[in-house]
Structure 1
Amino acid sequence: MAGLRELQRRGVHEAISAAAISLFLERGFDAVPVTEIAAAAGVSKPTLFKYFPTKDDLVLHRFADHQGESARVVRQRAAGEGPLDALRRHFLDGLARRDPVTGLNDHPEVVAFHRMVFSTPSLVARLSQYMSLDERALADALRECVDDLTATLLAAQVLAVQRVLARRNWLQLAEGRPLREVEPEAVHAAERAFSLLSIPDV
């Protein structure tokens, strides 16, 4: 029964999320009231808020799925692999998978989703909060292998690299460039960006 309840819960969560994203992409984030989303998903407004505490969460839960990812990559890296090498490998793997978080995904809904996020001030502000938490988590993971100052600075640099690369990739696709042209440039840019990062001798 517990398994069935969890499946039902996931189904409701997905139904609410799908209804919200569809309406937001059609009319804009600020133009769609939560009551309309609840009605479209076939749930009450209180039920919607049980799954998504704020309207922003209806969008940003997709980013929340990646919360703490960089820290996990560092902690779960292979024996003998440096933390920066692991982070570089993980980002390149994301490009190869067309992971939307890398910006290298030309599905129309993904491109439109990023455009909506980056053009909505409240979502940009919340996204910055997510990134701040990620930076803190990554710094904690890096402190296990480097000193405090190096870990703090390096975490900020890595998150900046990931943000700039992803935004750059998305902008190229949003401007209409074909993915087959953008992809090799995205890989080269990632290789170059991570090569600029280093862990000094301490």
Structure 2
Amino acid sequence: MEGLRERKKRETRDAIAAAALALFLERGFDAVTVVDVAVAANVSEKTVFNYFATKEDLVFANAEEKLFERAEAIRLRSPGTPLSRVFLADTLRFLDAIEAGEVDRAMTVPRLVRASPALRGRLMLAWELEAATLTAAVTDDEDDLIAAAAVRSLVWANRVVFRAAMRRLIGGEDPADVARDLRAEAERVYAQLDLGLAGYGA
């Protein structure tokens, strides 16, 4: 169970991230300094860096936790479950959130990234870390090129659905329509990959 010290650290981290996100949305990522974030969060600049190594990390504050959860879902999947089912479930959860009205939250980071070259570069690094982490959840053999290729294919399947959703939502389409259409598309995408992967990872 989370102790008092751990809870206070988590609350401080969350408060810093929330203050940073509000400033980034108001002024743009590149126009905000770490000092600005510290002032808004009522902490010192050193405290910000104690929790976030770089300014870019403030945008992707929960990425590490989410990546760990995705890796665990792969490791703990039931015997006989193809790897694609884990990725499909993750994609469908995203579409459920869109349909439930969580559009603004889903679009926050993409909007910031689109407007900042620094964040686009950071995202490229995050994508490579994601692929490496999820591949490691599949196999202990770092030279297993089949696992690396399979995971990257599935990661990009998830990503293309996400991008399609963002494009349509930015275009003003109804979230329920977007979610409905892309659920069917996601099922087709992963089914097509299954034909090539032949149940890989089951």
For residues 157 and 199 of structure 2, the distance between their equivalents in structure 1, rounded to whole angstroms, comes to: 22
Distance verdict in 2 for CA 1:144–1:51, change over 3 Å? closer
1:133 CA displacement: 1.5
Read off the aligned partner of 1:45 and give its amino acid letter.
Answer: E
SS in 2 for 1:138: helix
Match of 2:124 among 125, 128, 131: 128
Aligned to 1:84: 84
Instruction: Output aligned runs, 1:169-180, within 5 Å.
Output: 169-180=165-176
**Residues 158-186 of structure 1: CA deviation (Å, up to 9, x unaligned):** 11111211111112111111101111111
Read off the aligned partner of 1:113 and give its amino acid letter.
Answer: V
- Given the two structures, how large is their TM-score scaled by the length of structure 1? 0.85
Q: How many residues align?
A: 196
For residues 140 and 187 of structure 2, the distance between their equivalents in structure 1, rounded to whole angstroms, comes to: 25
Distance verdict in 2 for CA 1:9–1:186, change over 3 Å? same
Distance verdict in 2 for CA 1:77–1:183, change over 3 Å? same
For residues 8 and 83 of structure 1, the distance between their equivalents in structure 2, rounded to whole angstroms, comes to: 37
Aligned to 2:135: 139
Aligned to 1:40: 40
1:57 CA displacement: 0.7
Aligned to 1:186: 182
Distance verdict in 2 for CA 1:85–1:201, change over 3 Å? closer
- Given the two structures, how large is their TM-score scaled by the length of structure 2? 0.85
Q: What's the % identity of the aligned pairs?
A: 33
In the alignment, structure 2 segments of 5+ residues that lack a partner are none
For residues 73 and 20 of structure 1, the distance between their equivalents in structure 2, rounded to whole angstroms, comes to: 30
- Is residue 131–residue 159 contact of structure 1 (8 Å, CA) maintained in 2? no
Distance verdict in 2 for CA 1:174–1:17, change over 3 Å? same
In the alignment, structure 1 segments of 5+ residues that lack a partner are none
Aligned to 1:154: 150
- Is residue 98–residue 175 contact of structure 2 (8 Å, CA) maintained in 1? no
Match status 1:106 vs 2:84: no
For residues 69 and 154 of structure 2, the distance between their equivalents in structure 1, rounded to whole angstroms, comes to: 12
For residues 179 and 93 of structure 1, the distance between their equivalents in structure 2, rounded to whole angstroms, comes to: 14
- Is residue 70–residue 134 contact of structure 1 (8 Å, CA) maintained in 2? no
Aligned to 2:94: 94
1:69 CA displacement: 4.2
1:23 CA displacement: 0.6
- Is residue 87–residue 158 contact of structure 2 (8 Å, CA) maintained in 1? no
Read off the aligned partner of 1:9 and give its amino acid letter.
Answer: K
1:32 CA displacement: 1.0
Read off the aligned partner of 1:152 and give its amino acid letter.
Answer: A
Read off the aligned partner of 2:95 and give its amino acid letter.
Answer: L
